[in-house]
Amino acid sequence: MEPRILLVAAATGTQSGATIKALVASSTPGVSIRALVRSKASEKAQALVGVELVEGSFDDSQSLKNALVGVDSAFLVTTPFGEGQSPEAEIRQGKAFIDAAKGAGVKHLVFTSVEGAERKTGIPHADGKHEIEQHLFASGMRYTVVRPVIFMDLFPLSVGAELAINLWTLEVFLRGRKLQMVASEDIGWSFLSASFGWFCAQALLNPADYGGRQIPLAGDALTMAEVRATYAKVTGQTPWNLYLLPGFLVKWLPIPPLFLKTLTVSIFYMWYGSTAGYEADVEARRAEHPAMMTFETWLSRKIKAA
């Protein structure tokens, strides 16, 4: 088998870290993994196992060219959040990486987007990823786009005021409809259960099978009543029920609960409440990867690991 180099960008991040772990665990003959990091000396970079560390930045074109030399397939994740970041910065960085990958002769690029980005939601970070997706499609490179829905990790583990407020907020927007969710990879048990990392690793390792695919990724879909029942089953405590008029939501926006910490997330929930919301095929993803976690499995394991 001809040797292949797989590059994972932003390697110290949650999504990239899960992808690296899944790649290392696969022990695929002839495959070596290159991790793009800002600093090799950082604690997070040093914690990466089984990879070649290379330094680089999305804003440094020469460092990207150096990192991509000889790479067969690459994984790209971008974010508008964090110090110095914005939707505009994310778009610029995503396009720069795609251009550098194409220039280096990379054959296949896996990009992690967000479910709904293909439908132009009006949500800043989703529309930014839509623009990056379009740049990737126009590049002519073989691609795989993975579009996760909201991460289960946004739910608090304890049954208390924070959970009650968040469940009420979601109920206001969803009006009894189901919320699609997927387990994130920043978890304390076997990363083989981390569905996101599994799908991205499979795409990198099997470009012939995953090339050209756009994969909406969800592991469960529950109403808030079902979420309450799950908390009660797993923790033995029934979440509080808040009986407030929807107008009280305005009161919470200046001091928002977990799901409304940013204007972007607020816009997301307004979009979800006024449209069909996420449109991932949960059963199809489970058929492809039976180890995908349900919300109950995620909550049980997360609490045990805490």
**Averaged over 83-91, what is the pLDDT?**
86
Entry pTM: 0.84
4-148+191-216: CATH architecture: 3-Layer(aba) Sandwich (3.40)
Which residues of the chain does CATH 3.40.50.720 include?
4-148+191-216
| CA-based nearest residue to 145, from 248, 245, 215 | 215
Mean pLDDT of the chain: 85
For the segment 178-189, what is each residue's pLDDT rounded down to a tens digit?
999 988 653 223
For the segment 250-268, what is each residue's pLDDT rounded down to a tens digit?
444 434 444 444 455 566 6
Distance CA 216, CA 237 (A): 33
Looking at per-residue pLDDT, the higher value among 148 and 124 belongs to 148
For the segment 135-147, what is each residue's pLDDT rounded down to a tens digit?
999 999 999 999 9
For the segment 106-119, what is each residue's pLDDT rounded down to a tens digit?
999 999 998 988 88
Centroid of chain to Cα 12: 14
User: How long, in residues, is the chain?
Assistant: 306
